[in-house]
Chains A and B, each alone.
Chain A
């Protein structure tokens, strides 16, 4: 098989099959049309969000603003409406990301480096954990939090969110760790480094892109999660943007659609940006995460 070198490097795998398929030209025009139609259907609901945010007189309908302006953004750019909820979202998501990553790295190390009868059942147990419908356990979690007096506590909510994302994180982290050759570590041991020192100075730096993917993935999920903070965090001062946007919708939504759209966009931008970073850097890792996710 002769593939131009550059093309092969840019997109391995895919380029192989992009060879002119039989009947390519006619088939491709047809495929283009069908795809564009589907794509338009997917874009329509999003269009409302963008146009509505720029239209001070926005309603439910999608229309080009008569007098486009940034009034909606100005109206929601207040500490109470926007900054505090976003700050809470950041605390919640970053906290969840860090707790998850720390626990996942620690757990992944023995699972990746030692051979034991314990590994396979544990990994399958973990995978089973990813299958658990998290919304189903929210009512019992609420009951548990009431009994333990953990309701309305940000750290407790972080720990719960970390637990829900741990199965996927452990699974991914172990795969990334498996890819770091043991020989590198052994060289460090010969030089007198302890296992922990070797983990910190050799293994983790080599896994940095992978760890970044895991962190961002957990962060995105926590940032977008509505149901968990909706049930577990009661006071307005602690609620993240996902919940405060919902209350805003309940209180002002019926009149201020433009502001709702502007709020939604400002709240969505961070995760969209993070997704682009991950997808650019390692599309494969994300596909892998997606394939494993429950």
Chain B
């Protein structure tokens, strides 16, 4: 009887199987595969492409000695901190706050412009950003109006260019999250504070932000994870250059694996990236659990 019940219980969950299979083969599989091949000398072509040899932790030792890896790690931190945690997050919040004070027509129009950059296919957004920052691009045209000399932004300050481009590309997400969050702040609270003589900045700092702190934490986590994975934007704009000046971890992993043909070393870089993502993912889940009543 008990066994019968258990079989029925299992049968009920049979429809989950296709999804679980897909996830195991194409998501969990590659993750395990990454850890495995980071311990081999797998190559893109040649002898070690088909029959890689086990090399133990050699790739990780090389990682620690390679001067490009710490640079790449630092650039990734800079990219995430600059474009996601500060840029998208703060600008998104600012937009959401301003939109509640501005006229509906204005906030709808500006909202459309911000969202458009986000909805466009990533390769198109990357081209537009590339054209904007290039030597004879729109930015230099604008600055030329004020008599500034022409600068090759993508060459002289590649990180600043890709960070600004990613803020442009991704702020819509934070804006949408914060607009929804602000809609949930009871008007009575801010009005009461206003009666007590609190100015707009004080109301924002002491009423609104504490009330939406849950959304802020969630948003920070999600934009961090999204930005950690950005590849196309950087690849099209600078291809990681010049001289590795904008090689974040996804670009480094790609380069090592496909440009230099060293799959083993490339997957070692990718494994580090996966681990960083997993840490942030776990932190995100904890956050969600705590927020649950």
Q: Using CB atoms and an 8 Å cutoff, list the residues of chain A in contact with chain B.
A: 13-14, 16-19, 21-24, 27-28, 30-32, 34-36, 38-39, 41-49, 52, 59-63, 99, 102-104, 106-107, 109-111, 114, 116, 118, 122, 124, 127-129, 131-144, 146, 159-160, 162-164, 166-167, 170, 220, 223-227, 231, 242, 245-246, 249, 257, 260-261, 264, 267-268, 271-272, 275, 279, 286-287, 290-291, 293-294
In the complex, what residues of A have CB within 8 A of residue B183's CB? 13-14, 17
Q: Does B117 contact A (CB under 8 A)?
A: yes
B 109-139 to A, binary, CB cutoff 8 A, 1 in contact else 0: 1100111110111111001110110111110
Most-contacted residue by chain B among A47, A104, A133, A220 (CB, 10 A): A133
CB<8 Å pairs between A and B, sample of 25: A18-B100, A32-B106, A39-B114, A42-B110, A59-B136, A60-B131, A60-B137, A107-B15, A107-B18, A127-B288, A128-B278, A131-B277, A131-B281, A132-B274, A133-B225, A133-B250, A137-B274, A139-B257, A159-B25, A166-B19, A220-B119, A224-B121, A245-B124, A257-B131, A264-B124
Pick out which of these stretches binds chain A: B60-68, B81-89, B229-237: B229-237
Task: Give, as a whole number of angstroms, the nearest-CB distance from B167 to chain A.
Answer: 10
Shortest 8 CB-CB contacts between residues of A and residues of B: A131-B281, A163-B26, A39-B110, A224-B121, A133-B229, A140-B34, A31-B101, A107-B19
A217 and B218 CA atoms in complex are apart in Å by: 21
In the complex, what residues of B have CB within 8 A of residue A59's CB? 136
Task: Give, as a whole number of angstroms, the nearest-CB distance from A159 to chain B.
Answer: 6
Most-contacted residue by chain B among A122, A124, A137 (CB, 10 A): A137
A140 and B15 CA atoms in complex are apart in Å by: 28
Inter-chain contact A140/B30, CB cutoff 8 Å: yes
Task: Give, as a whole number of angstroms, the nearest-CB distance from B115 to chain A.
Answer: 8
Which of A22, A41, A43, A61 is the one whose CB lies under 8 Å from B194?
Answer: A22
Inter-chain contact B18/A106, CB cutoff 8 Å: yes
Inter-chain contact A137/B124, CB cutoff 8 Å: no
Inter-chain contact A163/B27, CB cutoff 8 Å: yes
Inter-chain contact B267/A140, CB cutoff 8 Å: yes
Q: Does B168 contact A (CB under 8 A)?
A: yes
Most-contacted residue by chain A among B42, B110, B141, B194 (CB, 10 A): B110
Interface size class on chain B is: 35 or more
Task: Give, as a whole number of angstroms, the nearest-CB distance from B210 to chain A.
Answer: 18
Inter-chain contact A132/B27, CB cutoff 8 Å: yes
Inter-chain contact B117/A129, CB cutoff 8 Å: no
A141 and B282 CA atoms in complex are apart in Å by: 23
Inter-chain contact A143/B33, CB cutoff 8 Å: yes
In the complex, what residues of B have CB within 8 A of residue A275's CB? 115, 119
Inter-chain contact A162/B22, CB cutoff 8 Å: yes
Task: Give, as a whole number of angstroms, the nearest-CB distance from A276 to chain B.
Answer: 9
